[in-house]
């Protein structure tokens, strides 16, 4: 947790991954992010993984450091309160539909300099999820060796969209500071996905070749990179991206003479050309398989580390979370009180600011935990009116205990 965004307040009305991620990143950098949900929790409030008590560990971690207001958004009074909070604050992150009571046009009627960041599925407003957008841009048919498509587990487009949304919010605020203009920025998952494909050369590559890239399994396209198995059965990934790494890898495996013979036989030099190493992988891979398969992993790891060679053994997530370097001794993690009651290392801001002390990760709120405070501070509602709204079931407040509301 840092204070780079101290003084910035944002209303967030969202669910699932992309939009809450944008709010999370802002909160980790010091913004006051006020998440507004339906009383009892929105559609992602119980999303897996969950504890035995059905508290969502997913929700608990995507909403750290935020404040929570709970409203009955099915009733006009609840919707009007959310609109009032957005107008009072001036910054809004959402993945609600373009139209309706949270349309930018409606909200800006009372706040012309409002900045709205709207995460969408498709640009035309139709719904989409990370897992369907990924299929649409072709990656599952590039992943693995085939013939079946291979979906990845990581919701990459959600996460990229969330990060892009946080960036877009700050960009729009920067423009408003210079011009006084507010506005809406719409960020569709589909555009983030196909735009990223383009940024990585994929659109140009496919049109230039007139065909799809071949599926390569665990090989890295255009580089010398693949998984290999050591003598003691450890599967490890090795990737070479610089001439020095290539030279050190060849030396560590004592393959210098064999590589020189191959270069002479094929009329090439592998010393400085990534593409040639990839093109001649049919001959290089078996050579490296034998050399790596004749050594134990610990021996190879020491030699690779000494040579600055990029490598990593494959392991389970259970192994990773028990790695001190990744978690226990990693300063991005700390202890936090969690609504679920389960204590575990919690992640804070990923960035490190050497000039600032890193604060411990903040917990996620309980549903409605800050309703009274925010309605009083932001809308100047008197305590009697807030009490009436609570009694009428329009405003929700958190009860004691864990995350179950």
Q: Percent of the chain at pLDDT above 70?
A: 98
Q: Distance of CA 297 to CAs 271, 311, 312, 395, Å?
A: 25, 11, 10, 59
Position 383 scores a pLDDT of 98
The answer to whether the CB of 86 falls within 8 A of the CB of 106 is no
Q: How far apart are the first and last CA of the chain?
A: 27
* Residue range 199-207: mean pLDDT, rounded: 98
Beta strands in 144-193 (DSSP E): 183-188
Short-list 9, 50, 62, CA closest to 364? 62
- In sequence order, the 6+-apart residues with CB closer than 8 A to the CB of 249 are 238, 240, 304, 307, 309
Residue 403 has pLDDT above 50, yes or no: no
The pLDDT mean for the chain works out to 96
287 by DSSP, 3-state: which? Answer: helix
The answer to whether the CB of 83 falls within 8 A of the CB of 125 is no
Position 1 scores a pLDDT of 87
Bigger pLDDT: 110 or 33?
Answer: 33
Q: What is the DSSP letter of 295?
A: S
The answer to whether the CB of 28 falls within 8 A of the CB of 65 is yes
Between strands 91-94 and 67-71, the pairing is unpaired
Main-chain phi, psi angles of 187, to 5 degrees: -130, 95
Residue 224 has pLDDT above 50, yes or no: yes
* Residue range 287-300: mean pLDDT, rounded: 98
Residue 158 has pLDDT above 60, yes or no: yes
Q: Which listed residue (44, 72, 130, 158) is catalytic?
A: 158
Angle between helices 256-266 and 281-293 (to 10 degrees): 170
The H or E element spanning position 108 is helix 104-108
Rounded to an integer, what distance in angstroms lies between the CA atom of residue 332 and that of residue 351? 8
Name residue 50's beta-bridge partners. Answer: 56
Domains assigned to the chain: 9-198+324-396 (3.40.50.10540), 224-314 (3.30.1540.10)
Report the largest interatomic distance among the alpha carbons of the chain, rounded to a whole angstrom. 88
Rounded to an integer, what distance in angstroms lies between the CA atom of residue 81 and that of residue 70? 10
Question: Given the structure tokens 């610990």, which residue do they identify?
Answer: 298
How do residues 28-87 score in pLDDT, each as one tens digit?
999 999 999 999 999 999 999 999 999 999 999 999 999 999 999 999 999 999 999 999
The H or E element spanning position 9 is strand 9-13
Position 399 scores a pLDDT of 66
Rounded to an integer, what distance in angstroms lies between the CA atom of residue 65 and that of residue 287? 52
**Around Cβ 110, how many Cβ atoms within 10 Å?**
12
Main-chain phi, psi angles of 70, to 5 degrees: -115, 125
Question: For this structure, is 254 an active site residue?
Answer: no
Peptide linkage before 159 cis (omega within 30 of 0): no
Residue 402 has pLDDT above 60, yes or no: no
How do residues 117-126 score in pLDDT, each as one tens digit?
999 999 999 9
* Residue range 242-262: mean pLDDT, rounded: 98
Position 146 scores a pLDDT of 86
The pair of three-digit structure tokens given for residue 249, joined into one six-digit string = 């890898």
- In sequence order, the 6+-apart residues with CB closer than 8 A to the CB of 270 are 246, 259, 263, 276, 277, 280, 284
What DSSP assignment string belongs to 356-396? Answer: SPPPPPPPPPPTTTTHHHHHHHHH---HHHHHHHHHTTSEE
The sheet with strand 310-313 has its strands ordered as: 224-229, 235-240, 310-313
How do residues 88-103 score in pLDDT, each as one tens digit?
999 999 999 999 999 9
Task: Kindly report the pTM of this predicted structure.
Answer: 0.94
């Amino acid at each position: 947790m840092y204070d780079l965004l101290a003084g910035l307040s944002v209303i967030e009305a969202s669910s699932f991954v992309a939009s809450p991620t944008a709010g999370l990143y802002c909160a980790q950098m010091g913004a006051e992010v006020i998440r507004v949900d339906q009383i009892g929790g929105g559609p992602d409030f119980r999303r897996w993984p969950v504890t035995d008590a059905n508290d969502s560990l997913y929700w608990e971690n995507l909403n750290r450091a935020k404040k929570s207001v709970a409203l009955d958004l099915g009733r006009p009074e609840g919707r009007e309160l959310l609109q009032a909070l957005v107008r009072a604050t001036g910054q809004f992150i959402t993945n609600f539909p373009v139209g309706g009571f949270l349309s930018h046009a409606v909200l800006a009627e009372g706040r012309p300099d409002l900045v709205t960041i709207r995460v969408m599925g498709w640009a035309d407003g139709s719904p989409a999820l990370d897992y369907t957008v990924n299929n649409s841009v072709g990656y599952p048919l590039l992943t693995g060796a085939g013939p079946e498509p291979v979906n990845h587990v990581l919701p990459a487009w959600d996460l990229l969209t969330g990060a892009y949304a946080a960036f877009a919010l700050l960009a729009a605020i920067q423009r408003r500071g210079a011009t006084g203009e507010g506005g809406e920025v719409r960020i569709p998952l589909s555009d983030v996905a196909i735009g990223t494909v383009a940024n990585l050369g994929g659109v140009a590559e496919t049109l230039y070749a007139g065909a799809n890239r071949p599926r390569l399994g665990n090989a890295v396209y255009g580089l010398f990179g693949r998984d290999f198995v050591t003598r003691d059965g450890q599967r490890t990934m090795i990737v070479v991206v610089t001439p020095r790494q290539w030279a050190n890898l060849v030396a560590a495996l004592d393959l210098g003479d064999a590589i020189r013979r191959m270069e002479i036989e094929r009329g090439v030099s592998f010393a400085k050309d990534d593409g040639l190493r990839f093109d001649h992988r049919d001959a290089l891979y078996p050579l490296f398989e034998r050399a790596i398969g004749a050594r134990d992993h610990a021996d190879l790891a020491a030699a690779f580390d000494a040579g600055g060679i990029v490598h990593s053994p494959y392991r389970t997530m259970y192994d990773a979370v028990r790695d001190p370097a990744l978690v226990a001794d990693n300063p991005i993690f700390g202890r936090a009180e969690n609504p679920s009651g389960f204590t575990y290392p919690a992640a804070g801001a990923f960035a490190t600011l050497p000039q600032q002390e890193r604060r411990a990760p903040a917990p996620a709120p309980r549903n409605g935990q800050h309703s009274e405070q925010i309605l009083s501070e932001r809308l100047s509602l008197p305590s009697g009116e807030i009490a009436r709204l609570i009694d009428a079931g329009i405003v929700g407040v958190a009860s004691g205990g864990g995350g179950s509301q």
